[in-house]
Structures are given as structure tokens and as C-alpha cells.
Amino acid sequence: MGDISLFDGASWYLVFLFSTTVHEASHAWIALKLGDPTAHRGGQVTLDPVPHIKREPFGMVIVPILSFAMGGWMIGWASAPYDPLWANRHPKRAAWMAVAGPASNLLLALIAALFIRAGMLAGWFSPPAVLTSTHVVDWTRDGIPHLAAQLVGILFSLNLLLCIFNLLPLPPLDGSSIPLLLLSPSQAASYSAFMNGPAVRLVGLVLAWKFFGFIYTPLHHFCVGLLYPEFQYNFQ
């Protein structure tokens, strides 16, 4: 199970494509509901991945494939357009639009966890003998249980990662918009102007990349503990 194969790569890309599409479609749908039709006009309010790939082919195709080939897991990105004038006029609405993406990933991770528990009850899945950040469930036999465990395990791990990473309170990540829910309009305008500065966004990305592992690992262990409360892993 440790060897990287074409099956592994196809499984990862299928889940990555679905999860990223749901993330961006959630941004676009909430923006539409809150008064900004920009992403809707661009075709982003859809679970069809094609419009999202056309908008960000590098982040949706090239980077995920390269990251998997080099590390055995996938990273990438997409984006949904929005009207900056609308965001400036309605900072709280813009914040809810931003939160919608990682919230959708959290929902997908919860759904995956429910499927894992259901698969265990059905005798298809079991807790893994060796737990890693990308392998959280084993299958009891080949065939459909193997395929299902592969997909649902990746769905859990990848969406947990996407949720936590995007909620980091650093620009340009979605979590940096959460303070807008608490600030006055004048404070929100100053905060947004600062956070959208190119240098600040670059520093934010560097910091997020550098420190994410320190944040993600304990949270991943905590979530696995919730997933398998009856099975004790010796986390190092």
C-alpha cells in the first residue's frame, strides 16, 4: 500500500478536483446570494470543474500533478472572481464569502468521516495499522472496498488540510478575512487595504507555508482521535 501508482494518482486527482471545485463554487454561490454576481457571470457557481480549470489551469492541473509526482500528495489552487468595490462596500459579506470555501471543505471532511465509520460497520474498512497524514483508513478486502477506502480516505485528509490551511489568518488566505466580521466599516477598509498589499500577501504566503506543518499535525492527530475514539494511536 505504500507504493505510489497510477491508481493512487488518479484517486488523488479525482478527489482534489472535486474538493477544489466545491471550495470555489461555495465562494461563488455565497457571493451571488450576498449581492455580487461576478463569479456567477464567470460560470464559477458550478460543480463542473471545467470553468475552474479554465480560470486556473496551472493551479488546477500542473501543480497538483507535479506535487503528487514529487511528494505523493497533492496541492494546488483555484480562484473565484469577485467585485472589489462590492467587497469594500460590504466587508462583512465579503468575509462570509471567504469563509464559505473552507467551510465547504470542513463539511466534506465530516461527510468522509461518516462514510469511514459506516464502512467500518459494514466490514469494509478498518483503522490503519500505520497512520500517516494522507492514509487514515484501511480496506478489509480488494475490489469496491479498496476503491471506496482510497477515495474516502483522501477525501477526509485533503479536505481537512484545505480547511485548516485556508483558515490561517494570513493574507491572501480566506482566514485573513474573518476579522472583517468584527470590525467597523472604517476599520474594515483600513484592514483590507493593508492585507491586500502585494508585499503583505507575499509574506503571508511564506509564513503560512513555513508554519502550517506545526499547526496541521496536532489538529490532524486530534481529528483522527475523534474519528477512531476506540483506537489509540501513539502519536510522536
Question: Where in the sequence numbering do the catalytic residues fall?
Answer: 24
Question: How big is the CA angle at 204 (ends 17 and 136), to the nearest 5 degrees?
Answer: 40
How far, in Å, CA of 209 to CA of 3, rounded?
26
How far, in Å, CA of 195 to CA of 94, rounded?
14
C-alpha closest to that of 183 among 199, 197, 167, 194: 194
Q: Is the distance from CB of 208 to CB of 168 less than 8 angstroms?
A: yes
Q: Is the distance from CB of 180 to CB of 195 less than 8 angstroms?
A: no
Provide the CB-side half-sphere exposure for 178 (13 A, CA): 14
Alpha helices in 72-197 (DSSP H): 84-89, 91-121, 144-166, 185-195
Centroid of chain to Cα 59 = 13
Phi, psi of 66, deg, nearest 5: -65, -40
Query: How many beta carbons lie within 10 A of that of residue 203, not counting itself?
Result: 13
Break the chain down into helix, strand, coil percent, rounded to 5: 70, 0, 30
Burial of 181 (0-12, 13-18, 19+ CB in 10 A): middle
